[in-house]
């Protein structure tokens, strides 16, 4: 398997070198209405984690030899995911997919001629800059939700992913997960569509417009965008308070994303999380997106799918068994 990773990494190096050589002279295409064209179907799978593991000694960039010495093979990684029930946030998920379906990437993110050890680039230590008491505030936010994985009185008690309302994977911002790390961008003169493959969540970004004062908060927040040079910038806020996604999204966050096309088949993507209630400073992550060169398939997850009735039926049976034992 190591040879396979070596070949994969060699290919990434060759391709990335060509990007680096041509990036300075690359002129991104423009749409018929005169803005940078970032349209297409893109994949952002990578084995680079959001925060930097201690094994890298604080280094943001490493060479191929170091990567191969510190990263387990994709085969071993997939076996681990399958054994622990990868799609279950608490592990041990019933009916977990086998590793045939997993596509977490074969290498760390390759940018500027080196491999990245974390997606976070600011702060420089590659760690989320929690403020004093920030994690306690975050836990209180979670506990205030109506839904939770230990409550199965009805569908409202289950998590949003169980109900197929919002993906369990991080698609806002985009952070590589176990599979389906694909998205599509479509541009018009007044709007941009960002479609995530997971659960087929769609964001419609209004270009050169203001945030709306809506009487409700949407699942994916309120997104506006503008162009700055060769970059599409998307700013999103006013998330639904139920959409607490790990440490990334809450109703108080302002999310700023940047899409810059540096080659015909490559976009540099970055995002900045700004939430003074939780963090001591705004923090920024970045990674490459590459052209998928194929269509994006339907992710057939819908509320009322097989899993939700089964979860609720299992909870009722558990209650019956407990009552019978008393």
Confidence class for position 1, pLDDT limits 50, 70, 90: very low
Residue 209 in any domain: the answer is yes
Kindly report the number of other CB atoms within 10 A of residue 111's CB atom.
20
- 147, 157 Cβ separation under 8 angstroms: yes
Residues 6+ positions from 167 with CB-CB distance below 8 Å? 161, 196, 198, 199, 201
Residue 24 in any domain: the answer is no
Residue 248 in any domain: the answer is yes
Q: For 112-153, how does the pLDDT look when each residue is reduced to its tens digit (9 = 90+)?
A: 999 999 999 999 999 999 999 999 998 888 888 777 656 678
The reported pLDDT for the residue numbered 152 is 75
Tokens of 320: 């019956």
Q: Whose structure tokens read 């419609």? A: 204
Domain count, the chain: 1
CA distance 108 to 287: 10
Q: For residue 52, give the DSSP letter.
A: P
Closest CA to 175 of 71, 44, 60: 44
Exposed e or buried b per residue across 228-257, where buried means at least 16 C-beta atoms within 10 angstroms of its C-beta: eebbbbbbbbbbbebbbbebbbbbbbbbbb
Residue 251 in any domain: the answer is yes
Residue 33 in any domain: the answer is yes
Q: For 282-307, how does the pLDDT look when each residue is reduced to its tens digit (9 = 90+)?
A: 999 999 999 988 888 888 777 767 77
Distances (CA, A) of 163 to 167, 240, 305, 310: 9, 16, 8, 12
CA distance 146 to 155: 11
CA distance 313 to 297: 31
Q: For 204-214, how does the pLDDT look when each residue is reduced to its tens digit (9 = 90+)?
A: 999 999 999 99
Distances (CA, A) of 313 to 196, 309, 316, 319: 31, 6, 5, 10
* CA R_g for the chain: 21
Residue 258 in any domain: the answer is yes
**Residue-by-residue DSSP string for 205-255:** EEET-PPP--SS--TT-EEEEEEETTEEEEEEE---TT--BTTTB-TT-EE
- Count how many Cα atoms sit within 13 Å of the Cα of residue 309 in the half-sphere of its side chain: 4
Residue 89 in any domain: the answer is no
Tokens of 107: 């290498």
Residues 6+ positions from 153 with CB-CB distance below 8 Å? 315
Q: For 260-280, how does the pLDDT look when each residue is reduced to its tens digit (9 = 90+)?
A: 999 999 999 999 999 999 999
Establish whether the linkage from the previous residue to 123 is cis, with ω within 30° of 0: yes
Structural domain for 39, as ranges: 29-59+119-324
Entry field: residues in the chain: 326
- The arithmetic mean of pLDDT across residues 227-240, rounded, is 95
* Out of 25-34, 136-145, 179-188, least confident range: 136-145
Distances (CA, A) of 87 to 97, 134, 156, 187: 8, 27, 20, 32
Residue 198 in any domain: the answer is yes
Q: Whose structure tokens read 């680096």? A: 20
pLDDT at 156 over 50: yes
CA distance 191 to 204: 7
Tokens of 294: 């194929």
* Out of 32-46, 207-221, 300-314, least confident range: 300-314
């Amino acid at each position: 398997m190591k040879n396979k990773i070596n070949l994969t990494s060699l290919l990434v190096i060759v391709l990335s070198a060509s990007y680096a050589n041509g990036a300075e002279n690359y002129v991104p295409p423009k749409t018929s209405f005169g803005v940078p064209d970032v349209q297409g179907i893109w994949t952002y799978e990578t084995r680079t984690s959001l925060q930097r593991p201690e094994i890298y000694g604080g280094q943001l960039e490493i060479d191929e030899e170091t990567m191969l010495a510190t990263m387990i093979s994709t085969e071993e990684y997939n076996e681990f995911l399958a054994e622990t029930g990868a799609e279950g946030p608490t592990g041990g998920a019933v009916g977990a997919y086998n590793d045939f379906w997993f596509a977490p990437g074969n290498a760390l993110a390759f940018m500027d001629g080196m491999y990245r050890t974390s997606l976070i680039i600011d702060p420089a230590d590659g760690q989320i800059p929690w403020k004093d008491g920030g994690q306690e505030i975050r836990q209180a936010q979670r506990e205030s939700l109506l839904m939770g994985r230990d409550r199965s009185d009805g569908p409202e008690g289950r998590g949003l992913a169980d109900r197929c309302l919002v993906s369990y994977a991080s698609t806002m911002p985009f952070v590589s997960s176990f599979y389906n790390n694909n998205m599509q961008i479509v541009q018009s003169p007044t709007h941009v569509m960002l479609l995530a493959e997971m659960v087929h969540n769609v964001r419609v970004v209004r270009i050169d417009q203001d945030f709306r004062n809506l009487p409700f908060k949407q699942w994916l927040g309120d997104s506006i965008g503008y162009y700055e040079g060769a970059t599409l910038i998307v700013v999103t806020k006013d998330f639904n308070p139920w959409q607490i996604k790990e440490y990334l999204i809450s109703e108080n966050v302002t999310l700023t994303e940047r899409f810059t096309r540096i080659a015909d088949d490559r976009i540099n993507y970055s995002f900045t999380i700004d939430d003074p209630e939780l963090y001591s400073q705004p923090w920024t992550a970045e990674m490459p997106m590459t052209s998928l060169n194929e269509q994006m398939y339907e992710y057939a997850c819908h509320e009322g799918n097989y899993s939700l009735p089964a979860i609720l039926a299992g909870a009722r049976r558990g209650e019956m068994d407990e009552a019978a034992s008393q």
